Structure 1
């Protein structure tokens, strides 16, 4: 790959204890909507932070930045690259990252909740969205411009079939990234953090079994570590305990059912594996501050 479009590259370090865990840039609150997708322009968010996003990580989000114009210093996992030509940057979940942009920056940030990434990448190489790689857009700029324009347009309206269309468009993007990844697969991969691999294995198991209400000990045993070790890793890398991650996944699915289906609260409770609707309602209110019916009315 031609790296002439990198003006500068250097390795940086940040103390892990000083790195906050955000849902979106600068936001520590729970995922704001039942959507699994968030898309906005780079200037839209970065101008609020004086064109600099401080180093942080996301416990359950994967991001793709598309830099169309201007300059951007993209720091991911301790490596900083100054980009001056169109490029795609993959930011895996749990990766420490921060950005600095010129005031004439153009481009987009696409944030994808981990469950959606797992679903859409199920037929792709497992490492495609787990490795922080920056790709030069090269001669694919026209296609990427058109693709992101379509994603932004579809994201901003509530047309019939919106979710299906967004997933189709994002699938096209992921296939493009996958092809780039496969072209680089013969090169030596960067060393993997064993702790991150354990957390990634846990989140994959969580996606498959959250409705079964596995105890943390069972998840830990399946990963091959103790429950205490799993909790410590989750707190270090995701900013929350393993149980909190389980609860958040249940809440996210409950919100989606309440907003996007006509299922009753009792049916939602059953679909999520709760023994009693009353217990589900108490759980939902404890986690969100409102009862399921009230949440549905608010939306």
Structure 2
């Protein structure tokens, strides 16, 4: 599935633009999972990060993670490595906590050039899922060091210390090495067949094109040439979400982006997203986020 022909339908998220504009050009970005979940939602639709690797570390809680054509269902502590540009999505339970690290591919390339490529079997070009519960006893010590490594990155990120960027670069390189050491022990995954992936890609593409048009589900299935039950089955299998939930998630994500990064009023955002009634948009937003659009905009 890692094919440039599929890139068009997959949203490319740039955290420095879509989430935290202070770090638009930063080669490393760190945040806790809870902050990103508050912004993007606990059930993150399929997307990619061109030129950026991501590492998700889940301290606790259940999570379903889709990397390329593999689906993992694990309970934390767990760790996921997603290579640059590889499509992925995930659904974490409300109590799930952890860390999310976004790393420019130049750091990974330099690490491989410095000798890591000769030392490990994994080229880091495929997704990795590690679950502590599935590791052998002798590997638990390596896992402890991975967790400590992420805590050290968190400390460096939140403090303005001398040589901060150098420290972060060193800690990130060490973290990648430690994950690579454990990578031969993978959590079990489910492979999605090509037909289901093709249909899911097509549905995702249609959502991206028409979420502002508020297409009803029958129009999506008619365009795809499949039944609603088939679409629901493959969406549940690949993303653990219903087709309607995926559509609503895309609308809410765009609403959050506009509330955060634009000066448009709630009414203007309502019309921008294809709603005819601001009152209905307000009810829709609160139903899916738990807060009003005004309250969301005021959040720090």
Q: TM-score scaled by structure 1?
A: 0.52
Q: How does 1:218-257 map to 2 (within 5 A)?
A: none
Q: SS of 2:107's equivalent?
A: helix
- Aligned partner of 1:124 in structure 2 is 116
Unaligned runs of 5+ in 2: 1-5, 192-300
- Aligned partner of 2:76 in structure 1 is 85
- Aligned partner of 2:149 in structure 1 is 147
Which of 165, 178, 181 is residue 179 of structure 1 equivalent to? 181
> Cα offset for 1:60?
0.6
Distance 2:182 2:168 in 1: 21
> Cα offset for 1:134?
0.5
Unaligned runs of 5+ in 1: 1-14, 191-299
Distance 1:125 1:31 in 2: 33
Distance 2:145 2:103 in 1: 21
> Cα offset for 1:30?
8.5
Distance 1:156 1:79 in 2: 34
> Cα offset for 1:184?
5.9
Q: 1:30-83: CA deviations, max 9, x gaps? A: 994442100111111012233111101111100111111001111110221111
Distance 1:19 1:34 in 2: 22
Which of 30, 34, 42 is residue 33 of structure 2 equivalent to? 42
Query: Within the alignment, does 1:73 sit opposite 2:68 as a pair?
Result: no
Distance 1:21 1:110 in 2: 16
More contact order relative to length (CA 8 Å, sep ≥ 6): 2
Query: Within the alignment, does 1:133 sit opposite 2:128 as a pair?
Result: yes
Which of 86, 102, 111 is residue 102 of structure 2 equivalent to? 111
Distance 1:178 1:90 in 2: 10
Would you say the 8 A contact 2:130–2:185 is kept in 1?
Answer: no
> Cα offset for 1:124?
0.9
Distance 1:150 1:106 in 2: 17
Q: How does 1:135-214 map to 2 (within 5 A)?
A: 135-137=130-132, 138=135, 139=140, 140-181=142-183, 183=184
Judged with a 3 Å threshold, the aligned counterparts in structure 2 of structure 1 residues 32 and 162 are, in CA distance, closer, same or farther, namely closer
Distance 1:165 1:57 in 2: 27
Aligned pair count? 171
Q: 1:193-217: CA deviations, max 9, x gaps? A: xxxxxxxxxxxxxxxxxxxxxxxxx
Judged with a 3 Å threshold, the aligned counterparts in structure 2 of structure 1 residues 28 and 59 are, in CA distance, closer, same or farther, namely farther
Which of 36, 42, 58 is residue 49 of structure 2 equivalent to? 58
Q: TM-score scaled by structure 2?
A: 0.51
Would you say the 8 A contact 1:25–1:53 is kept in 2?
Answer: no
CA-based RMSD: 2.7
